[in-house]
Amino acid sequence: MSDTETIKVKFFSGEDLPLELHKVRIVQKLHLRPIDQRLKAMDSAGYNTFLLTTDNVFLDMLTDSGTNAMSDNQLAAMHQADDAYAGSQSFFRMESAIQEVFGTKFVLPVHQGRAAENIISQIFIKKGDVIPMNYHFTTTKAHMELNGGTIFEIYTDDALKIKSTVPFKGNIDIEKLKGIISKYGKEKVAFIRLEASTNLIGGQPFSIQNMREVRKIADEHSLMIVLDASLIGENAFFIKQREEEFKKKSIKDILLTMCNLVDIVYFSSRKVSSTRGGGICTNREDLYMKMRDLIPLYEGFLTYGGMSIREIEAMAVGIRETTDETIISQSPSFIAYLVNELDKIGIPVVTPAGALGCHLDAMGFLPHIPQSEYPAGALAAALYIISGIRGMERGTVSSVRDESGNDILADVELLRLAFPRRVFTLSQTKYAFDRLNWLYLNQDLVGGLKFVEEPAVLRFFNGRLAPTSNWPEKLVAKFKQDFGDSL
Ligand code: F0G
């Protein structure tokens, strides 16, 4: 088939099922521990799923970061690594893959996405600057604020609506963008940031139409656009599915169109190319020169940037594979299946299905838990206890406190169940559905959480919480009553 056709396999039965377009040749054994052991593990982890260890986790849906399945071609490429501190051929192979796929001439390697954010923020943000964007990502915001910037999220009215049919909830609201520029003056706008498949609002894409409008405003005010391309493949896939003008275009063309509309592209390779590492790319030599000298300071020499040379080889192949729809459609199609099945039985979930994971609305799932008791954190803990599935809290636990020490309540309280590319099967996805269904029917048994140990920065990573009552024990008792000796 030509690379401009959309991948769609219809079942004779009429069922709308995702289909694995790969075969599994290397597998890793999983452990589904008994529920008493899971309760103990959650307790030892301070009701924070980040602090669980994988030997107690059945389906690890914490993230797709660094956990996507690698391809045979990526593994094969790792064997040709040209180990060298400087001038490695592996770097030039990676650089040419990026030039081909993103269409950007200059490439700076970094050890992961947030390292790119550190360098971009240090170079382009001055104290008092503002940075308008569709939505923040946790590490992005932390780096920008560390450098004295203030972020403004100028999403459209639909972005935070849980149930929606709007295809591009990741779009920037153009009127709000104009408002920020006229209020602060273009000198104070460090740059405009666009995040592909906007992570924290449920993996929601923006359209090329919206990018073009943002570009027009940026040009009128001589402003730079920085694209966080960590989930660009999936955003391109949604553009192809949902934006009329691009229905017949190849993913490769769409990626080039997107990157051509911005000044700087940066990414976490842990997501985009199923490896480790990251990069900053641009066609503008002036911008490249401004950032270049920070690479040896924070990352490593310019031809490895803190990555292993083997990873760089795998990254080169992974970047090219981003143009392959059979690969980048996998995660969205499994997410869409789970989201649509949950939606059908009334479980509150972010729609339309997006990239990265299935996002459950914890405030709808557990309406009796106030935001001050962290409903998304409680849902993550409860789901782990009753299923061994590890999700990630994306709500107020992932937020911060204000100057008076009060929680800044998150706009949305989400539990993210990530679908790393080509990792989980349909029956595992059905297991997740089944346990969520049971949990929803037993929602009243789930109670809130409170912090018992709270780091000052990015508290969700290492913070420890405790249940506000003995609800976990009651939940376990009900599970045993309903499931007998089943795991
Ligand atoms: N930008 C976005 C949109 C991301 O999703 C991430 C990471 C980063 C930047 C930072 O990249 O982890 O390589 O330093 N997201 C991961 C996640 C952690 O689980 O969603 P990094």
Q: Which residues pair with 212 in a beta bridge?
A: none
Indicate the helix (H) or strand (E) that contains 186: none
The whole-number pLDDT of residue 20 equals 93
Q: Is 247 a catalytic residue?
A: no
Compute the distance from residue 15 Cα to the ligand 1 centre, in Å: 34
Catalytic residue, from 47, 137, 266, 374: name it.
137
What b/e sequence results for 32-53 when a residue is b if at least 16 CB atoms lie within 10 Å of its CB, and e otherwise? bbebeebbebbeebbbbbbbbe
The whole-number pLDDT of residue 319 equals 97
Question: Contact 172/210 with Cβ under 8 angstroms?
Answer: yes
> Would you give the DSSP letter of residue 172?
B
Question: Tokens 């969700």 identify what position?
Answer: 460
Compute the distance from residue 376 Cα to the ligand 1 centre, in Å: 19
pLDDT class of 27 with cuts at 50, 70, 90: very high
Environment class of residue 371 by beta-carbon count within 10 Å: exposed (0-12), middle (13-18) or buried (19+)? Answer: middle
The three-class DSSP label of residue 269 is helix
* Ligand 1, CB cutoff 6 Å, lining residues: 63, 65, 112-114, 137, 139-140, 195, 199, 228, 230, 268, 270, 278
The whole-number pLDDT of residue 9 equals 87
Nearest Cα neighbor of 133 from 190, 185, 188 is 190
Question: Contact 112/266 with Cβ under 8 angstroms?
Answer: no
Best substitution site from 137, 201, 269 to test ligand 1's pocket, by max atoms within 8 Å of Cβ?
137
Question: Contact 356/331 with Cβ under 8 angstroms?
Answer: yes
Average pLDDT for 420-441: 98
The whole-number pLDDT of residue 446 equals 98
- Cα–Cα distance measured from residue 8 to residue 422, given in angstroms and rounded to the nearest whole number: 17
The ligand 1 atom nearest the CA atom of 139: 10
pLDDT class of 1 with cuts at 50, 70, 90: low
Indicate the helix (H) or strand (E) that contains 417: strand 414-418
Indicate the average pLDDT of the chain. 96
* Backbone torsions φ then ψ of 124, nearest 5 degrees: -110, -10
- Cα–Cα distance measured from residue 305 to residue 110, given in angstroms and rounded to the nearest whole number: 5
Six token digits for residue 53:
């260890």
Average pLDDT for 137-153: 96
One-character DSSP codes across 216-251 = HHHHHTT--EEEE-TTHHHHHHHHHHH-GGGTTS-H
Using a cut of 0.85, tell me whether the model's pTM lies above it: yes
> Any idea how long the chain is?
487
Catalytic residue, from 138, 139, 150, 468: name it.
138
The whole-number pLDDT of residue 458 equals 87
Average pLDDT for 56-81: 97
The dihedral formed by the CA atoms of 421, 441, 379 and 337, expressed in degrees to the nearest 10: 20
For helices 375-387 and 35-44, angle between their N-to-C axes, nearest 10 degrees: 140
Question: Contact 41/54 with Cβ under 8 angstroms?
Answer: no
pLDDT class of 487 with cuts at 50, 70, 90: confident
Six token digits for residue 215:
């570009």
The answer on pLDDT for 325 being more than 60 is yes
The whole-number pLDDT of residue 485 equals 87
- Cα–Cα distance measured from residue 214 to residue 194, given in angstroms and rounded to the nearest whole number: 9
Do strands 357-361 and 278-282 pair parallel, antiparallel, or not at all (unpaired)?
A: unpaired
pLDDT class of 409 with cuts at 50, 70, 90: very high
The answer on pLDDT for 435 being more than 90 is yes
Catalytic residue, from 54, 83, 85, 430: name it.
85
Compute the distance from residue 11 Cα to the ligand 1 centre, in Å: 35
HEC secondary structure over 206-217: CCHHHHHHHHHH
Amino acid (1-letter code) at residue 475: L
Do strands 130-133 and 150-153 pair parallel, antiparallel, or not at all (unpaired)?
A: parallel
The answer on pLDDT for 37 being more than 70 is yes
Residue-range domains of the chain with CATH: 35-64+327-483 (3.90.1150.10), 72-323 (3.40.640.10)
- Cα–Cα distance measured from residue 47 to residue 102, given in angstroms and rounded to the nearest whole number: 41
Least confident of 33-47, 291-305, 400-414: 400-414
The whole-number pLDDT of residue 195 equals 98
Environment class of residue 258 by beta-carbon count within 10 Å: exposed (0-12), middle (13-18) or buried (19+)? Answer: buried
Least confident of 106-115, 436-445, 451-460: 451-460
The ligand 1 atom nearest the CA atom of 231: 3
Average pLDDT for 93-103: 98
The whole-number pLDDT of residue 457 equals 86
Nearest Cα neighbor of 323 from 268, 259, 243, 261 is 259
Question: Contact 281/98 with Cβ under 8 angstroms?
Answer: yes
Q: Is 138 a catalytic residue?
A: yes
Nearest CA to ligand 1 atom 21: 113
pLDDT in tens, 259-285: 999 999 999 999 999 899 999 999 999
Nearest Cα neighbor of 155 from 126, 180, 134 is 134
Q: Is 228 a catalytic residue?
A: yes
Return all residues near 138 (Cβ < 8 A) that are at least 6 apart.
200, 398, 458, 460
Average pLDDT for 173-185: 98
- Cα–Cα distance measured from residue 289 to residue 270, given in angstroms and rounded to the nearest whole number: 25
The ligand 1 atom nearest the CA atom of 64: 19
